[in-house]
Amino acid sequence: MSPPPASPASVQNHTQDSSALVDSRYAVMRLMVTLALMTVGACGMYVVAVVLPAVQAEFGVTRADASIPYTLLMIGFGVGGVMMGRLADRFGVMVPLLIGATGLGLGFALAATAGNIGMFSLAHGLLIGFLGSAATFAPLLADTSLWFARRRGFAVAVCASGNYLGGAIWPPIVQHFVESVGWRQTYLGLGIFSFVAMASLALLMRKRPPVAVASAVGNSGRAATTSSMPFGLTPGAAQTLLCVASVACCVAMAMPQVHIVSYCTDLGYGAARGAEMLSLMLACGVVSRLVSGAICDRIGGLRTLILGSVLQGIALLLFLPFDGLVSLYVIAALFGLFQGGLVPAYAIIVREYFEPAEAGARVGTVIMASLLGMALGGWMSGKVFDLTGSYHAAFLNGLAWNLLNFSIAFFLLWRVRRMARDARTAQPA
């Protein structure tokens, strides 16, 4: 026998109690825990780039084959994020986080004992990516958006910055231990640490998010622009364009992030200098994400995406004429400052232009596309290097993909402006 339906008064009281937690001290505390979780979970994304030269030398494979673990990790990361998001919707975010802690621990342990590049790649794709790091990105972004109404863009940016904070912290630490004890022992240590740290932090995330925090006003006080026809397109067409743009910008983004250590090794500067550049790049990405979050609250996600795309293209262009050691440090910092806000901007765009009830699923899909772009970009850059013997063509390839991202974002902004102009023209005098 089914229970009687809740009375309107009880539903209203429950909504008021839940809404009281929004923008509260608890929400801020939860955001700090989320930042720590994302920082720990990000280790899977960045350590593989640091150990790439050592793994390639030990297994005796090509640069493209050595990039496969990263490619499979990012594919698993993207696909796993959708599954983890659904688990979080049903059971709360603590459940996927505990699964993620187990996946990372087992994945690093399996990779440390791998006897060939195939097993090493499988550990990264299935355990570290699909079951591990996937629990610490899209589900945490979605969870954070439910705990904040004011300055939601900045809160999401703080959450997303954990991904880059991990990128700033992990490469030099991992490089130190790779040189001291070898990459296999380093992976074993990472497995133990990530499991203990993530499982402990996950227990602080038991509370479910408020049931409904619906507002007709955006973060900056502007009226909401959500529509059943986003950008004047069908939702499917608009979603597809955003996914293609997301793939394109992240193919371009992956080139320096995945191959900067190998690039520096080829130039004769050594892997340690490359790891330092990667750390600097991602540390600057933290600043970029925080600043971009504040910009999003003022000018909207679409304009922020266009700004980031232009700046990322400039940074990629600078890699072509300059390859001195000091120059590369400066360009790595600029690249981090210019591109850090791109991925969070997609989450804000979905919240601004699509129906709110569809935001969770659509954000997860766009984030998955961005991770697939990172996977494709990591492999493609290695393949271009194998074919040409140089990273020069790989940087040009990244610029071409970045141009595609800018073109789509500019096209969507043009449609938004035309719709606004048509709406003003249609108003009676």
Higher-pLDDT residue of 258 and 361 is: 258
Q: Which domain holds residue 266?
A: 24-211+219-426
* 45: in domain: yes
- At residue 331, what is the residue type? I
Tell me 220's DSSP state. T
Query: What is the structure's pLDDT at 22?
Result: 78
Flag whether pLDDT at 9 surpasses 60: no
- Our measurement of the distance from residue 136's CA atom to the centroid of its chain's CA atoms, rounded to an integer in Å, reads 10
* Mean pLDDT within 171-191: 92
Model pLDDT, residue 198: 96
User: Is residue 29 exposed (0-12), middle (13-18) or buried (19+ Cβ within 10 Å)?
Assistant: exposed
User: How confident is the prediction for the chain on average, in pLDDT?
Assistant: 84
242 Cβ contact list (under 8 Å, min separation 6)? 346, 349, 350, 366, 369, 408, 412
CB atoms within 10 A of CB 244: 15
**pLDDT class of 222 with cuts at 50, 70, 90:** very low
Q: Burial of 283 by CB count in 10 Å (0-12 exposed, 13-18 middle, 19+ buried)? A: buried
Residue 15 lies in a domain: no
222: left (phi over 0), alpha (psi -120 to 50) or beta: beta
The answer to whether 161 and 39 have CB atoms below 8 angstroms apart is no
CA distance 286 to 168: 9
Beta strand segments in 45-158, E: none
Q: Are 368 and 78 in contact (CB under 8 A)?
A: yes
Tell whether 339 is covered by a domain.
Answer: yes
Q: For the chain, first and last CA: distance in Å?
A: 60
Cβ atoms within 10 Å, residue 200: 12
- Per the domain annotation, does 259 fall within a domain? yes
Give 148-160 as a DSSP string: -STTHHHHHHHHH
On whether residue 3 sits in a domain, the answer given is: no
Domain CATH code at residue 335 = 1.20.1250.20
**CA pair distance 52, 404, nearest whole angstrom:** 29
C-alpha to C-alpha distance for 314 and 331, rounded to whole angstroms: 10
Place of tokens 């008064």: 9
Mean pLDDT, range 172-180, rounded to an integer: 90
Q: Is the pLDDT of residue 28 over 80?
A: yes
Residue 14 located in a structural domain: no
Give the residue from 343, 338, 332, 336 showing the smallest Cα distance to 285: 336
Copy the structure tokens of residue 208.
């479910």
Mean pLDDT confidence for 148-158? 81
Q: What is the mean pLDDT of residues 36-55?
A: 87
With b for 16 or more beta-carbon neighbours within 10 A and e for fewer, the 49-69 pattern comes to bbbbbbbbebeebebbbbbbb
Please tell me the predicted confidence (pLDDT) of residue 211. Answer: 54
Asked whether the beta carbons of 37 and 97 are under 8 A apart, the reply is yes
Is residue 165 classed exposed, middle or buried when 0-12, 13-18 and 19+ CB atoms within 10 A define those classes? buried
- Hey, is 277 helix, strand or coil? helix
Read off the tokens for 384.
């271009």
254 against 5, higher pLDDT:
254
Percent of the residues in the chain that have a pLDDT greater than 70, as a whole number? 89
Distance CA 55, CA 52 (A): 5
Task: Please check whether residue 416 lies inside any domain of the structure.
Answer: yes
pLDDT of residue 425: 81
Q: How confident is the model at residue 216 (pLDDT cuts 50, 70, 90)?
A: very low
pLDDT digits (tens, 9 = 90+) for 86-145: 788 788 889 999 999 999 999 999 999 999 999 999 999 999 999 999 999 888 887 887
Residue with tokens 């507002």: 215
**Residue pair 403/279 in contact by the 8 Å Cβ criterion:** no
Mean pLDDT is lowest, of 1-5, 190-194, 241-245, 278-282, for 1-5
What is this structure's pTM?
0.72
Asked, for residue 1, whether it belongs to a domain, the answer is no
| Average pLDDT for 218-241 | 70
Structural domain tally of the chain?
A: 1
Residue count of the chain, please give it.
429
